[in-house]
């Protein structure tokens, strides 16, 4: 196959993030973002990485995803990289929810579109936007293979014992209620990159991956396959996040409805948007929280402690799930940058094997690296995640086989 370029699209309800990669060497040719689609002040930011030129910004009305993608193609064309280029071999789409159906990246056809649509009730915020992005891209390049890469796919290997909630089976099945997990592309990429960092094959290592961004999730990966993860039916379950509560007693919801007289929508907003770090201390940016802690702010300190306590509980749980652990890997905005979070999360776990070396932990780098002392029985790693590269890699591998 001569064409080697893959365009990766991540379509939200009012935004499109994109990257163009050349899969001969996985290099990035361009990257950008269209925001506030449908408003008067839409914004396109385009970085022409291949030419090393300065980022270009444009503000004005972009009516819909169709107009957004055409604007992106125009920007790409200025550097000879337009969507009509024969060098473009496929478009890879991030799709949040693939349910139980999609266990792998999938070439998109009408049947696949119908199934992604059928999953909207379990992903009402994300799948419609992903579908719009796919339909728009297909209309622009109907001849080009388009691939859906699902956030849930990596977690479909979870055994039923981890994937099922202990609720009435008939009710659960009727509404497709089970634990699906998210951030799968990142957990897949980081667990493999961690194995590589240890000089081993993914099949030969057990890894706990901690994806700590604004959204946060943990996963237990045995020999390259996910056996448990902290997010569930939706991305609300599990760790304390920027604005999401993570685990709570489900009866909190009944209580807020019955006693607090809140509507379901109000509770949904409370738990998804006004909880987590922002609910606990008013800030969801870990940099700001650390700055406040340094100034002696007790509310910020308590928020940090609750965040770390939950993280530790998941690390402990996944030790028990995996039996033996070779490495703990930190990734995403907080995991890659916040040394105090990494130090605090691992502190006190030394009898289980992991440890953090203060000096190594303080090093800032974009490269995957170990931050545990050389003699630690369980390695601790920082592995920058790269979901776009993973989507492009999976897309290219799939179309190359066809």
Residue ranges in 224-253 that form contacts with ligand AMP under rule CB under 6 A:
242
CB of 292 to ligand AMP, least distance (A): 12
Any contact of residue 338 with ligand AMP (CB under 6 A)? yes
Q: Does the annotation count 66 as an active-site position?
A: no
317 token code pair = 């749980």
334 is an annotated ligand-binding site residue: yes
Q: How far is CA 80 from the centre of its chain?
A: 31
Residue 301 belongs to what H/E stretch? helix 298-322
Near ligand AMP by CB under 6 A: residue from 20, 88, 286, 327: 286
* Cα distance between residue 305 and residue 314, in whole Å: 14
237 token code pair = 């379950």
337 is an annotated ligand-binding site residue: yes
Residue ranges in 184-203 that form contacts with ligand AMP under rule CB under 6 A:
none
Q: Are 283 and 241 in contact (CB under 8 A)?
A: no
* Of 202 and 333, CB closest to ligand AMP: 333
**Selected catalytic residue, list 151, 283, 326, 386:** 151
Using CA atoms, how far residue 117 sits from 94, 137, 233, 253, 367, in Å, is 14, 17, 17, 28, 38
Residue 224 belongs to what H/E stretch? none
46 is an annotated ligand-binding site residue: no
**CB-based burial label for 124 (10 Å; 0-12, 13-18, 19+):** exposed
CB of 44 to ligand AMP, least distance (A): 20
Near ligand AMP by CB under 6 A: residue from 337, 352, 357, 377: 337
285 is an annotated ligand-binding site residue: yes
Any contact of residue 332 with ligand AMP (CB under 6 A)? yes
Q: Are 18 and 7 in contact (CB under 8 A)?
A: yes
Any contact of residue 285 with ligand AMP (CB under 6 A)? yes
Near ligand AMP by CB under 6 A: residue from 14, 85, 157, 214: 214
Q: Which residues pair with 165 in a beta bridge?
A: none
CB of 277 to ligand AMP, least distance (A): 8
* Of 85 and 337, CB closest to ligand AMP: 337
* Of 224 and 333, CB closest to ligand AMP: 333
Any contact of residue 258 with ligand AMP (CB under 6 A)? no
Residue 50: CB atoms within 10 Å: 16
Kindly determine how many residues on this chain lie close enough to bind ligand AMP according to the rule CB under 6 A: 12
* Cα distance between residue 286 and residue 307, in whole Å: 11
Which letter does DSSP use for residue 52 in this model? Answer: T
Residue ranges in 88-107 that form contacts with ligand AMP under rule CB under 6 A:
none
* Cα distance between residue 275 and residue 244, in whole Å: 5
Contacts with ligand AMP, residue ranges (CB under 6 A):
213-214, 242, 284-287, 332-334, 337-338
Q: Which residues are catalytic?
A: 151
Binding-site positions read 10, 17, 94, 211-215, 285-287, 333-337, 387
């Amino acid at each position: 196959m001569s064409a080697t370029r893959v365009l990766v699209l991540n379509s939200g309800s009012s935004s499109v993030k994109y990257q163009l990669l050349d899969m001969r060497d996985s290099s990035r040719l361009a990257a950008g973002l269209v925001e506030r689609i449908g408003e008067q002040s839409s914004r396109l930011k385009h970085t022409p990485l291949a030419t090393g030129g300065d980022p270009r910004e444009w503000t004005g009305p972009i009516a819909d995803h169709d107009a957004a993608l055409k604007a992106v193609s125009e920007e790409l064309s200025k550097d000879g990289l337009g969507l009509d280029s024969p060098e473009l071999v496929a478009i890879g789409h991030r799709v949040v929810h693939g349910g139980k159906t999609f266990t792998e990246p999938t070439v998109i056809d009408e049947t696949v579109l119908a199934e992604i649509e059928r999953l909207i009730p379990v992903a009402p915020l994300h799948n419609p936007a992903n579908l719009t992005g796919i339909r728009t891209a297909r209309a622009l390049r109907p001849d080009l293979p388009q691939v859906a890469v699902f956030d849930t796919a990596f977690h479909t290997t979870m055994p039923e014992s981890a994937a099922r909630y202990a609720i009435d089976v008939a009710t659960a099945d009727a509404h497709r209620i089970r634990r699906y997990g998210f951030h799968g592309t990142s957990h897949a990429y980081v667990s493999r990159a961690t194995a590589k960092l240890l000089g081993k094959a993914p099949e030969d290592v057990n890894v706990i991956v901690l994806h700590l961004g604004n959204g946060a999730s943990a996963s237990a990966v045995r020999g390259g396959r996910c056996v448990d993860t902290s997010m569930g039916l939706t991305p609300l379950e599990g760790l304390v996040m920027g604005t999401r509560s993570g685990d709570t007693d489900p009866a909190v919801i009944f209580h807020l409805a019955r006693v607090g007289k809140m509507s379901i929508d109000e509770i949904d907003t409370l738990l998804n948007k006004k909880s987590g770090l922002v609910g606990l201390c008013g800030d969801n940016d870990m940099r700001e929280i650390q700055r406040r802690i340094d100034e002696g702010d007790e509310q910020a300190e308590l928020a940090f402690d609750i965040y770390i306590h939950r993280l530790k509980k998941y690390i402990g749980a996944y030790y028990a799930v995996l039996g033996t652990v070779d490495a703990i890997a930190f990734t995403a905005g907080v995991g890659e940058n916040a040394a105090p979070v990494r130090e605090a999360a691992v502190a006190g776990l030394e009898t289980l094997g992991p440890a953090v070396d203060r000096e190594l932990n303080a090093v800032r780098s974009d490269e995957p690296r170990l931050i545990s002392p050389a003699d630690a029985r369980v390695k601790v790693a920082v592995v920058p995640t790269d979901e776009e590269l993973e989507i492009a890699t999976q897309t290219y591998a799939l179309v190359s086989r066809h």
